Structure 1
């Protein structure tokens, strides 16, 4: 969800950039601008920065755990001699 403070700030900037005669329409125009911005931004299906950063950290931890598990599996396979160690593919980013 988009931060309502950011939307309010953008709406205020648009409102303040209007000629004085239009600015006098006041609250109705600002409310309408805010509603339109909110509706358009909601259609974009965006995530906020905090959620993005949290998911990035989760992904990094998951990759680290996967790398450790792959190393352990390779070591166990090499020790047992049952199955040849799996050749690891380069990590895609």
Structure 2
């Protein structure tokens, strides 16, 4: 598995109709919660004071992450920054991951 740190900043148009906004946000929630249940979206944190989040994804490949992110209903309204992660050699539990 590959781990990725992802920052997502959502920028919904101010003139988006309330009904359309509610519908796309509901689809986003359902999609993200399903990915969380499968373990692909391993962690999700809100960035205080912003319509943004920090997330950790645990996926098989860059391509899988791209497919997941581009499938987000809010994808057209997001600025996304992806950082690949690797185990740090000083991480105490690293020995457990190598067994």
TM-score by length of 2: 0.27
Which structure is higher in helix share? 1
Q: Which has the higher contact order (CA 8 A, sep 6+)?
A: 2
TM-score by length of 1: 0.29
Q: Which has the larger radius of gyration?
A: 1
Which structure is higher in strand share? 2
